[in-house]
Structure 1
Amino acid sequence: MSVQDTQQIDKDELMAKYDKESAFRTNLGPWGWITLILGGALTIFQLYTALRGAYVSMIQGAIHLGAALCLVYLLYPIKSTMTKRRGVPWYDALLAIIALFTNFYIVYNYERLINDAIIFGFTAFDQIVATAGILLLLEATRRVVGLPIVIIAIIALLYGLFGAYIPVIGHAGYDWPSLATEMFYSSSSIFGIPIQISSTYIYLFLFFGVMLVKTNIGQFFNDIALRLTGRYTGGTAKAAVAASGLQGMVSGSSVANTVGSGSFTIPMMKNAGFKPHFAAATEASASTGGQIMPPIMGAAAFIMASYTGVPYNEIILIAIIPAVLYFSGVFMGTHFEARRLGIMGLAKEQLPKLKNLAKRLDLFAPLVLIIGMLLLGFTPTYAALYAIGAAFVISFFRKDTRMSFKEIIKILEEGARTALPVIAACATAGIIAGTVTTTGLGPKIAGGIIDLAQGQFFLVMFFTMIACIILGMGLPTTANYVVTATMAAPALLAFDVPVIAVHMFVFYFGIVADITPPVCLAAYAGAGIARANPMKAGVTAVKLAIAAFIIPYMFVSQPILLLQGDANAANVSIAVISALLGMAAISSSMIGFFVSKLNWIERIILVAGGLLLVYPDITFSLIGLAIFAVITAIQFMRGKPDHLKEQTS
Structure 2
Amino acid sequence: MSIENKKTQEDVSGEVITVQRELGDTLKKIVYVVGILTSLFHLWVNTIGIMPEIQRNAVHYGLLLFLGYLLYPLSKKNPEKTLTIDFIFAVLSFLVGLYLVLFENALHARNEVPILPDLIAAAIAIILLLEITRRTSGLIIPFLAFFFLGYALYFGKFFSGLWNFPGVNIQRLLYRMYFAPDGIFGTIATISSTFVFLFVLFGAFLIKSGAGDFIIKLAVALMGRTIGGPAKMAVFASGLMGSVSGSAVANTVGTGSITIPMMKKTGFSPKFAAAVEAAASTGGQLMPPIMGAGAFIMSQWTQIPYLKIVGVSFIPAIMYFLTVAFFVHLRAKKIGLKPLPKEEIPKFSEVLKEGWQFFIPIIVLMGFLMYGYTPTFSACAGIAAIVVSSWFNKKTRMGLKDILDALALGAKNMVTTGVILLCSGIVIGIVLLVGMGIKFSMLIQAISGGSLLLTIVLIALASLILGMGLPVTASYIVLAVLAAPAMTMLGASLIAAHMVIFWYSQDANVTPPVCLAAYSASGIAGSKPLETGFEAWKLAKGLYIIPLLFVYTPILFEGSILAVAETVITATLGLYSFAVFFEGFQLRSLNIIERILFGVVAFLLLYPKQYLHAAGVILFIALIIIQKLSSSH
**Common topology (TM > 0.5):** yes
User: CA–CA distance in 1 between the matches of 2:466 and 2:177?
Assistant: 21
Question: Which residue is equivalent to 1:574?
Answer: 566
1:25 aligns to 2:21 (yes or no): yes
Q: Name the structure 1 match of 2:186.
A: 192
Q: CA deviation at 1:474?
A: 4.0
Equivalent residue, structure 2, for 1:553: 548
Identify the residue that residue 523 of structure 1 maps to in structure 2.
518
**CA separation of 1:160/1:385 partners in 2, compared to 1, >3 Å: closer, same or farther?**
same
- Per-residue deviation at 1:634? 4.3
Residue 403 of structure 2 aligns with which residue?
408
Quickly say closer, same or farther: Cα 1:629–1:148, change in 2 above 3 A.
Answer: farther
Q: List alignment gaps of at least 5 residues for structure 1.
A: 1-11
Deviation at 1:177, TM superposition (A): 2.9
Bigger mean CA deviation after superposition, 518-527 or 19-28 = 19-28
User: 1:605: Cα distance to partner?
Assistant: 3.8
Distance 2:176 2:219 in 1: 50
For residues 29-40 of structure 1, the aligned pairs below 5 Å read: 29-40=25-36
Q: Does the CA-based 8 Å contact 2:15-2:471 persist in structure 1? A: no
Shift of 1:426: 0.8
Q: Distance in 2 between matches of 1:394 and 1:240?
A: 26
What is the 5 A alignment of 1:611-622?
611-622=603-614
Residue 71 (structure 2) pairs with residue 52 (structure 1): no
Residue in structure 2 matched with residue 313 of structure 1 by the alignment: 307
SS across alignment from 2:163: coil
C-alpha displacement of 1:477:
3.5
Q: 1:73 — aligned with what? A: 69
For 2:586 and 2:552, how far apart are their aligned partners in 1?
A: 28
Report the CA distance between 1:222 and its aligned residue: 1.1
CA contact (8 A) 2:9 2:20 kept: no
The equivalent of 2:204 in structure 1 is: 210
Aligned to 2:96: 102
* 1:113–1:595 distance in 2 versus 1, CA, 3 Å: farther
- The structure 1 residue matched to 2:579, chosen from 566, 579, 587, is 587
| Distance change >3 Å, CA 18–CA 47, structure 1 → 2 | closer
Partner of residue 462, structure 2: 467
Q: What amino acid sits opposite 2:142 in the alignment?
A: V
What value does the CA root-mean-square deviation take over the aligned residues? 2.1
Secondary structure at the counterpart of residue 304 of structure 2: coil
Q: Pick closer, same or farther for the CA change 1:604–1:157 going to 2, 3 Å.
A: farther
Structure 1 distance, partners of 2:36, 2:583, is: 49
Q: Does 2:385 correspond to 1:390? A: yes
| Residue pair 1:20, 1:143 contacting (<8 A) in 2 also | no
Structure 1 equivalent of residue 617 of structure 2: 625
Give the equivalent residue in structure 2 for 1:490: 485
Q: TM-score, normalised by structure 2?
A: 0.94
1:275 aligned onto 2:269: yes
Q: Tell me the residue number matched to 1:244.
A: 238
Q: Which residue number corresponds to residue 62 of structure 1?
A: 58
Q: Aligned equivalents of 2:316 and 2:348: distance in 1?
A: 31
Partner in structure 2 of residue 163 of structure 1: 156
Within 2, Cα distance between the matches of 1:616 and 1:16? 40
Query: CA 1:155–1:632 in 2, change beyond 3 Å: closer, same or farther?
Result: farther
Query: Does the 8 A contact of 1:164 with 1:172 survive in 2?
Result: yes
1:209 is displaced (CA, Å) by: 0.5
Contact map agreement 1:210 1:414 (CA 8 A) in 2: yes
The answer as to whether partners of 1:15 and 1:23 remain within 8 angstroms in 2 is yes
Gaps in structure 2 of 5+ consecutive residues: 1-7
User: Does the CA contact (< 8 Å) of 2:16 and 2:471 recur in 1?
Assistant: no
Matching of residues 177-576 of structure 1 within 5 Å: 177-357=171-351, 358-558=353-553, 560-564=554-558, 566-568=559-561, 570-576=562-568
**Which stretch shows the higher mean deviation, 255-264 or 390-399?**
390-399
Q: Deviations over 1:233-282 (max 9, x none)?
A: 11111111000100000101100000000000000000011110111010
SS in 2 for 1:89: helix
User: What do residues 304-326 of structure 1 show as CA deviations (whole Å, max 9, x unaligned)?
Assistant: 11111111111110111111111
Partners of 1:601 and 1:131 in 2: CA distance: 66
Could you tell me which amino acid in structure 1 is paired with residue 59 of structure 2?
I
Tell whether 2:149 aligns with 1:149.
no
CA contact (8 A) 2:444 2:486 kept: yes
Q: Identity of aligned pairs, percent? A: 38
CA gap 1:181/1:573 in 2 versus in 1, 3 angstroms: same
Q: Distance in 2 between matches of 1:117 and 1:130?
A: 18
* C-alpha distance in structure 1 between counterparts of 2:127 and 2:616, whole Å: 55
Q: Deviations over 1:183-226 (max 9, x none)?
A: 12211121122210111121111111111011111111111111
Question: How many residues are aligned here?
Answer: 623
Code of the aligned partner of 1:329: T
621-630 vs 226-235, greater mean Cα deviation: 621-630
- Give TM-score, length-normalised by structure 1: 0.92
- Render the CA deviation track for 1:592-639: whole Å, top value 9, x for unaligned: 222222344543443333122111111332333344345434433442
- Structure 2 distance, partners of 1:334, 1:54, is 51
